[in-house]
């Protein structure tokens, strides 16, 4: 696991209140208990806060799975 992977998983565990949650690249929202539209806002905002980035409207909802989210995040951090 890379550092980004670990941070994302840790934040997801916090936000979805499940300290045994495992996030793989193939994970999608419906795999995770409690990942509804409200929790999604909390999750995405927490990522913005933790990584000091901002998502565009498309990025906010547009990724197909956690792997895509990680790639998007890595690109954003790399671009800074």
Residue selected from 53, 60, 74, 76 as contacting another protein according to rule CB under 8 A: 60
Q: Are 63 and 72 in contact (CB under 8 A)?
A: yes
Angstrom CA distances, 72 to 18, 56, 59, stand at: 24, 11, 8
Torsion sign, CA atoms 60, 25, 76, 80: positive
Interface residue with another protein among 4, 5, 29, 46 (CB under 8 A) is 46
Site string for another protein, 61-80 (x = CB under 8 A): --------------------
**Which residue in 11, 21, 32, 73 binds another protein (CB under 8 A)?**
11
Half-sphere exposure at residue 23, Cβ-oriented, CA atoms within 13 angstroms: 29
Site of interaction with another protein (CB under 8 A): 7, 10-11, 14-17, 19, 34, 37-38, 41-42, 45-46, 49-50, 54, 57, 60
């Amino acid at each position: 696991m890379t550092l980004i992977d670990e941070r994302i998983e840790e934040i997801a565990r916090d936000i979805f209140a499940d300290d045994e949650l495992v996030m793989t690249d193939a994970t999608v929202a419906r795999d995770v208990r409690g990942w509804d539209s409200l929790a999604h806002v909390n999750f995405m905002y927490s990522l913005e806060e933790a990584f000091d980035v901002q998502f565009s409207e498309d990025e906010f909802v547009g990724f197909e799975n956690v792997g895509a989210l990680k790639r998007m995040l890595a690109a954003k951090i790399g671009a800074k």
